[in-house]
Chain A
Amino acid sequence: MSSHLRVAAAGPSSTVQDRGRVGYQRYGVSVAGAVDPLLHAAANALVGNPAGEGAVEFTMAGDSLTVEGGPVRVAVAGDAALTIDDEPAPAWTSLRLRDGQTLRIGALREGTRGYWAVEGGLALAPVLGSVATHARTGLGGLAGGALKTGDRLPLRLDDAADRGELTLDPSLLPARGADIRVVLGPQDDAFTPAGIAAFLEESFTVSHEADRMGYRLNGPVIEHARGFNITSDGIPLGAVQVPGTGQPIVLLADRQTTGGYPKIACVIGPDVGALAQKRPGERLRFRAVATAEAQALHARHRDVLAGLPGLLRPAGAFALYGSERLLGFNLIGGVVTGWD
């Protein structure tokens, strides 16, 4: 019998995601995919999967999963408290679970989204080349929507081999501060100089209207030069569109493919995940970078993603940090790292 993970209790909004549905935006299909590709890749690396494998993105709190079959190897990337059959277990570490055991993934202490991956991946049929869930149009994932209590997730691997477990020290990941870097355009000429200055020099607060589709921000009014309607055009990832209210909306993975509000700037790829991890009420500032700097930052981000497997250590080494340190890892805490 093939192994499954049964969702004993679904988190508030957990969806299967990969790197997104590429190549169909011309037909109106949203890309979807993980809003924080770095943590998504980290969860996959911990269980030995390729970075683009489907994994579950959970929001604010995770799921409870009971093994049917197995053993099954899972790992959680994100600052959540875990238990296996009510015994504490570490995040950022691969865990081998036996038939009948229940992994409970609690609330995130920092950030908005965490990821859990299973060794070998979930046995889901790709839709238009991807297992990414786009709930608004019912594409991908598990029947096109979020995980529900009682769902049974089929696994590709029936039995995870007994090997040493691996761990990743999240303080080695690039620090994420309040600065979100953008490239101005495509329609920065639709705003007054005062509007551009307000956008780049003042700070914004994440509103409660913040989801996988986009983040609506509160802050100074960004003044348009001549109305706020443009002929609808394509919306790149991270586009900062400014509707008539003058309050920006940053468009994320689940964004529609086209839209008719002017886009003052686009958040660079490496910072999209950092933005999506900010909670309602958190503040941020936009900082413009030139094309050359954006390309350099992108290259460095690629190196980080490619280097994830090299950061893994045998789980035993974690004892060096002590369990308090283990439970207190803070991804957003501005820790000095090798990259930043």
Chain B
Amino acid sequence: MSETPASPPGLSPRLLPAGDGALIVELGEGIAPALNAAVHRLDRRIADAALPGVVETVPTYRSVLVVFDPARTHPDRLGQALLGLTEGLSQPSPEPQRRWVIPVCFGGIHGEDLDDVARRAGLTTAEVTALHCAADYRVYMLGFSPGFAYLGGLPEALHQPRRENPRMMTPAGSVIQGGAQAAISPIAMPSGWHLLGRTPVRIFDLRRDQPFLLAPGDRVRFASVPVVEFDRMAACDGLLPDSETVAGDVAGVAA
């Protein structure tokens, strides 16, 4: 999957049927920050509109899946209401956004692929770590497993194909990259992405009131911590990372 950071296409909202209990509102094609920001604006609008019969929504890179109860609404009526909500979506949102600052121990036993990633990129491991910590990641969407966030914004110097041979198991909290994307694995799972480091923060924790740390549309930055700090933090139960409030999207979608 390739990311298109250059000027995004204008929005072209389409309503797509998805069976007898769902509709998809598609705003465009491909993976681009401004397009995805418009998706999350639409998702918020749908929540705020409290349309009758809407059961849940799944915002993704460029579309929102809207699950509805056919006993409580008609797809034609719901579809019209949803299309109405796409008006003016190209405008950037002034609303502030939440950005998490996630501590990560890069390399060593927690990031076995860091050396290989650096070698292939022609960089030192310190440079790879610095690039990761300078990037402003965007949670494009969650999928694959509970709390698994697809992070866009991986610096181009680090784009690399996935591992030829997927690992059978990576521990929870693994900070990984594959193709043009980065992610943090919320639970132990197999992965073909490169293992760069690990965070002591629980991305998915059922003991919390909000079990999912990252929400669609959030921003993420990584902060490098040494292994002793990782161990100290890992011993703190219920540790939450710092978060900061950042300005909303600066760029709108070209009309």
Chain A: residues with CB nearer than 8 A to chain B? Answer: 22-29, 127-128, 137-139, 182-187, 231-239, 256-260, 263, 266-270, 291, 294-295, 297-299, 302
Contacts and interface: CB of A to CB of B under 8 A. Distances in A.
Contact of A22 (B17, B26, B55, B64): B55
Contact of B143 (A186, A232, A266): A232
A260 to B, nearest CB: 8
Contacts of B199: none
23 contacts: A23-B56, A25-B58, A26-B43, A26-B58, A127-B206, A137-B145, A186-B24, A231-B31, A232-B1, A233-B62, A233-B63, A234-B63, A237-B21, A256-B145, A257-B58, A257-B142, A258-B58, A258-B143, A266-B19, A268-B20, A294-B20, A298-B21, A302-B71
A237 B64 CA distance: 15
A84 B215 CA distance: 50
A216 B157 CA distance: 39
B255 to A, nearest CB: 22
Given A26-B43, A234-B65, A257-B144, 11 more contacts: A26-B58, A28-B146, A185-B17, A186-B26, A231-B60, A232-B60, A236-B21, A237-B22, A239-B19, A291-B20, A294-B19
Nearest to B188: A138
Contacts of B186: 28
| Residue of B145, B146, B215 with most partner-chain A CB within 10 A | B146
B242 interface: no
- Most A CB contacts (10 A, CB to CB) among B1, B29, B70, B75 go to B70
A28 B71 contact: no
Contacts of B142: 26-28, 257
Contacts of B16: 185-187
Contacts of B67: 25, 236
Interface string B182-211: 000011000000000000000000100001
Contacts of B145: 28, 137, 256
A269 B19 contact: yes
B30 interface: yes
Given A26-B58, A27-B146, A295 B70 contact: yes
B224 interface: no
A69 to B, nearest CB: 30
B17 A186 contact: yes
B203 to A, nearest CB: 11
B75 A291 contact: yes
A184 B17 CA distance: 7
B20 A28 contact: no
Q: Report, nearest first, the 9 A-B pairs whose CB atoms are least far apart.
A: A234-B65, A266-B19, A258-B143, A186-B16, A234-B58, A185-B17, A236-B22, A294-B20, A28-B142
A22 B20 CA distance: 17
B187 A258 contact: no
Interface in B1-57: 1, 16-22, 24, 26, 29-31, 43, 55-57
Contacts of A256: 143-145
Contact of A232 (B17, B141, B212): B141
B187 A183 contact: no
Contacts of A260: 1
B148 interface: yes
Contacts of B103: none
B76 interface: yes
Looking at B21, B67, B75, the one whose CB has the most chain A CB atoms below 10 A away is B21
